[in-house]
Amino acid sequence: MLRKLLKYEFKATGRVMLPVLLALLAVSGLLNICVRVTEHSEGTVISFVTGMLAFLYVMAILAIGVVALVALVYRFYKNLLSDEGYLMFTLPVSVHSLVWAKLITAIVWLIAAFLDIVLSLFVLAAPLRLGWGIEFVQFIGQVFDELAAVGINGLEIAAFALELLLIVILGIIGSCLVFYTALSLGHSFSNHKMLLSVGFYFAIGFVTQIVVVMLLIGLGTTLDGTEFNYVYTLRSALNLGHATLLGICLSTLLYDAVLYFGTTFMLKRRLNLP
């Protein structure tokens, strides 16, 4: 059932996201052409147009971020907590599937938006010379070689990259879930649903900050009391790095889990459609 939900979710969000993503590529393509033309002519009109396109390009990048965020948060509200909720919550699917469908689409679109921005930079730089690609690969190879020379092998780098990627994805999930939790808390009331949702959003942020600060103080005082016989070697430094990243992963996962539980609990037990 999750597959079917995802199909409709992508259809609904794609209506908004695809045009915006394509628009950025179109603007960068046009900008590329205009820059080329201005290199060979000195018309005021063309340089004005080029300037406008450059401005438009920056605005389009900002717009993608805003549209993605608004589209994904608004989608959760519109599809689950407004009148459409009568359709969605009477489908023979679990609340978990409904929330996961929203989460997965959000993650995919945010990643797509990132890739789209990278792609637009390539379009700006087009036509790409093959030489650049070769140079780039050589450069990366060099970096790996140098790291290997001091004893950091490819596996180590892959592990770090994986840990960072995990943190990014867990972070995206967390930032979506804060919106979802706030909306489902606010909409469990009969009146002032949106106002309360905004309030809950800031309240969750506030509580999270307090908890994080308390935990850091706790961690600091515990470490302060313990004696370290820490011998600085490359290995121990790398291990400390892994430990820190995995610690961040775990705490983000815990944060996500709490919010996920909050969202699904509210939608299951305290749903109060208008």
Question: Could you list the residues that contact other proteins (CB under 8 A)?
Answer: 1, 4, 7-8, 12, 15, 79, 83-87, 89-94, 190, 268-273
Judged by beta carbon, residue 93 or residue 123, the one nearer other proteins is: 93
Task: State the minimum distance, in angstroms, from the CB of residue 17 to other proteins.
Answer: 14
Task: State the minimum distance, in angstroms, from the CB of residue 48 to other proteins.
Answer: 38
Task: State the minimum distance, in angstroms, from the CB of residue 236 to other proteins.
Answer: 51
Task: State the minimum distance, in angstroms, from the CB of residue 191 to other proteins.
Answer: 10
Judged by beta carbon, residue 5 or residue 173, the one nearer other proteins is: 5
Judged by beta carbon, residue 37 or residue 91, the one nearer other proteins is: 91
Judged by beta carbon, residue 66 or residue 91, the one nearer other proteins is: 91
Residues 6+ away with beta carbon under 8 Å from 98: 5, 80, 88, 89, 267
Amino acid (1-letter code) at residue 272: N
Ramachandran area for residue 271 (φ above 0: left; ψ -120 to 50: alpha; else beta)? beta
Q: Residue written as tokens 């030489």?
A: 131
Judged by beta carbon, residue 28 or residue 79, the one nearer other proteins is: 79
- Decide: residue 57, CB within 10 A, 0-12 exposed, 13-18 middle, 19+ buried: middle
Gap between the Cα atoms of 106 and 118, Å rounded: 19
Judged by beta carbon, residue 92 or residue 225, the one nearer other proteins is: 92
199-223: burial string, b at 16+ Cβ within 10 Å, e else = ebbeebeeeeeeeeeeeeeeeeeee
Gap between the Cα atoms of 256 and 261, Å rounded: 8
In 3D, which of 50, 19, 56 has the Cα closest to residue 32?
Answer: 50
Task: State the minimum distance, in angstroms, from the CB of residue 271 to other proteins.
Answer: 6
Task: State the minimum distance, in angstroms, from the CB of residue 81 to other proteins.
Answer: 12
**CA angle, residues 12, 178, 162, in degrees to nearest 5:** 85
